[in-house]
Amino acid sequence: MKKNQLLWTIVLILLFFSFPKIVLTAFPSIDIDNGASQTYDREVNLSIQGTEGAKYMQISNEVDFPNAKWISYSTSKIWYLDYGKGTKTVYVRFKDAKGKISSVYKDTIQLYAPSSMDVDFVINPENDKDLVGAKETDSRNIKIRLNYSKGVEGFIISNDLNFVGKTFKNIVTNDSWILTEGSGEKTVYVQFMDINKQIKTVSKKINYTQPIDYIKSGTILKGQGSSIYYLGFDGKIHPFLTGLIYHSWYEDFSIVKYVSDSKLAQYQIGSPVCVRPGTWLLKFQGMPKVYAVEPGCRLRPIASEVEAYMVYGKNWNDRVIELSPVYMSGYQVISMSVEDKEKGIIDRDRDGLSAEQEAKYGTSDKMEDTDGDNLTDYEEVNIWFSDPTNPDTDGDGYKDGWEILNDFSPSGPQKLAENQENKYSYPIGIVLKDKKTSKRYYRDLNGHFYYVGTKNSDKVFSSNGFQERFIINEDKYIITYFTSKGSLANNLERIKRPQVYDGEILTNL
């Protein structure tokens, strides 16, 4: 018996090593919440298995993938189902390095949503069981506890009923808020949204007593040290990093309120104040690019020295101030790129010309200025009509950029023509002086110009904190077709106070 067992063991071992091993290959697939059949949340986890060689994938709630972008292949992804209860389907397809697109794979899940929502909130609750909250406060900073039923996914808090342009945040149980200034009864509004995209607004009141030693937001503070701070609406003090940044907002120190260091210590330090739009040009140490500052701490890249010359004049370099690159994080750079991977448009150097256009003109999509003549490829193709592959288009021995800076055409022997159409645009926030009438105009967020006077003492100009030294004199080579929308209003807080973006809404810092 033992002999037979030994023989069978030997046979089984030989069979195991004689036949090829079977390798289990995972099939392409997508699973929603690990194969769950139902959910009460639009946010789900996708588990993805791609096709062989997959480098990219598209995910969509619709089978024809409208507006879906190709993203790097990953085996997991957070995803949001469409609004509304019912059966939801998520689709995925893959693409390899050669551009071959796979079949479409899908999974379904049942999204449950209550027909109505039960929502409320409490201001400054004493504990988790407090359903009433506080009726009085001496602090603008309040705590808010949100109570909500299943299916509620977003909320907005506001000091008024205007929710237009404000962005819903993911629902949480606890949040904080800042009341408006001044003693009195305050109303706080919370707008809730559920997975059916239904909206419900709830309001609560609280009496705010402003402390005697309260300092109003917008006040400029200075202690015993050298630093100067802007007291923001958020109750924090925001430092001016340099004197030049301070003077982009204020001409002198007459508005500074001097306080003790112990008073300053009562405030948290917030983000630095950005350069005022329409004043200095900004550069970061060790980086070549120069930027115009626009409202909300946004930076618009200046394409070249030629653009700076055309927009700001021959002394444009006097406007440039330099900051440590550490502070670049406080700004948002506006991209000039035309890249759209979904449509197959590539713009590696982000100069405004697609790779296809660059190939057409023989330029590099990895360099803004292929021929090194101090004009970007975009400028040569769309503005000056010079040769972007030849640094000296007209062959006169001078580079194209140098010729423009010296008032010559890059494409021929002639001088630049006066009053040519301006294909450069003025940044938002600048004050421009019309060369014909000497009238001054402010370029607002909507792109239109608004009249601000002819002299420094004019009410609109002075009350909005504009300074003569930052006025741009309209260049003789550029004709601007003013679409003036009348006069700018006096004393506008959104212009004279630092602003930040809350979603796509500009608010006071």
Residue 176 placed within a domain: yes
Tokens of 501: 């973006």
- Average pLDDT on 279-284 reads 96
**pLDDT tens by residue, 181-196:** 999 999 999 999 999 9
Q: What is the pLDDT of residue 24?
A: 46
Q: What are phi and psi of 160, to 5 degrees?
A: -145, 180
Are 104 and 148 within one domain?
Answer: no
Residues 6+ apart with CB under 8 A from 294: 277, 300, 334, 427, 428, 429
Q: Is the pLDDT of residue 226 over 60?
A: yes
* 426: in domain: no
Range of the domain at 186: 119-208
Residue 222 has pLDDT above 80, yes or no: yes
Please tell me whether residues 130 and 163 are part of one structural domain: yes
440-443/449-453 β-pairing: antiparallel
Q: Which whole number is the average pLDDT over 370-396?
A: 91
| 153 and 76 within one domain | no
Give Cβ neighbours of residue 501 (< 8 Å, ≥ 6 apart).
Answer: 296, 297, 298, 332, 507
Mean predicted confidence (pLDDT) in 141-151: 93
Residue 190: in which H helix or E strand, if any? strand 184-194
Same domain for 226 and 199: no
- For 107, residues 6+ apart whose C-beta sits below 8 A from its C-beta are 29, 30, 31, 32, 35, 89, 90
Average pLDDT, integer, range 4-26: 53
- Statement: residue 44 has pLDDT above 70: yes
In a domain, 502, yes or no: yes
Is there a domain that residue 202 lies in?
Answer: yes
Per-residue pLDDT, averaged over 32-37, amounts to: 92
CA distance 312 to 478: 11
Confidence of residue 1 (pLDDT cuts 50, 70, 90): very low
Give the predicted TM-score (pTM) of the model: 0.73
Q: Give the end of a domain, one of 69, 88, 111.
A: 111
My answer on whether 132 and 197 are in the same domain is yes
Reported as a pLDDT band with limits 50, 70 and 90, residue 22 is very low
Write down the pLDDT at residue 25.
Answer: 52
More confident residue, 503 or 285: 285
Q: What is the pLDDT of residue 504?
A: 73
Count structural domains, the chain. Answer: 4
Residues 98 and 174 in one domain: no
Residue 168 in any domain: the answer is: yes
**Tokens 């949204």 -> residue:** 193
| Residue 463: pLDDT band with limits 50, 70, 90 | very high
181 and 234, same structural domain? no
Lowest-confidence pick of 274-283, 287-296, 356-365, 483-492: 483-492
Q: CATH number of the domain that 97 lies in?
A: 2.60.40.10
Assign 478 a pLDDT band (cuts: 50, 70, 90).
Answer: low
Report yes or no on 339 lying in a domain: no
DSSP 319: G
**131, part of any domain:** yes
Q: Is the dihedral of CA 217, 218, 219, 220 positive or negative?
A: positive
Residue 230 has pLDDT above 90, yes or no: yes
139 plus 186 within the same structural domain: yes
Final residue belonging to a domain, choices 65, 84, 111: 111
Q: With 60 as the cut, is the pLDDT of residue 2 above it? A: no
Q: Are 150 and 199 part of one and the same domain?
A: yes
Kindly report the number of other CB atoms within 10 A of residue 26's CB atom: 7
Answer whether 434's CB lies under 8 Å from 482's CB: yes
Are residues 195 and 237 located together in one domain of the fold?
no
Burial of 154 (0-12, 13-18, 19+ CB in 10 A): middle
Q: How far apart are CA 65 and CA 318, in angstroms?
A: 51
CA dist., res. 175 & res. 147, Å (int): 11
Query: CB–CB of 223/499 below 8 Å?
Result: no
Mean pLDDT, rounded, of the chain: 88
* Continuous segment of H or E residues that includes residue 251: none
Distance, in Å, from the CA atom of 488 to the CA atom of 464, rounded to the nearest integer, reads 9
Q: Which residue has the higher pLDDT, 233 or 166?
A: 233
Write the CB contacts of 492 (distance below 8 Å, at least 6 apart in sequence).
464
Q: Strand pairing partners for 176?
A: 143
Six token digits for residue 50: 């791609």
Query: Is it the case that residue 344 has pLDDT exceeding 90?
Result: no
> In terms of domains, do 199 and 250 share one?
no
In the chain, % of residues over pLDDT 90: 60
Q: What is the pLDDT of residues 49-101, one digit of tens each?
A: 999 888 889 999 999 998 888 888 889 899 999 998 899 999 999 998 888 99
- Determine the Cα–Cα distance for residues 128 and 147; give it in Å rounded to an integer: 11
C-alpha–C-alpha distance, residues 129 and 123, integer Å:
13
For residues 430-457, average pLDDT: 90
- Domain-ending residue, one of 94, 111, 128: 111
- Residue 320 placed within a domain: no
Cα-Cα-Cα-Cα torsion 287, 288, 292, 294, nearest 10 degrees, comes to -30
pLDDT tops 70 at residue 411 = yes
The answer to whether residues 162 and 196 belong to one domain is yes
pLDDT band at 143, cuts 50/70/90?
Answer: very high
Reading the block at residue 268, the tokens are: 């948290």
- Residue 272: pLDDT band (50, 70, 90) is very high
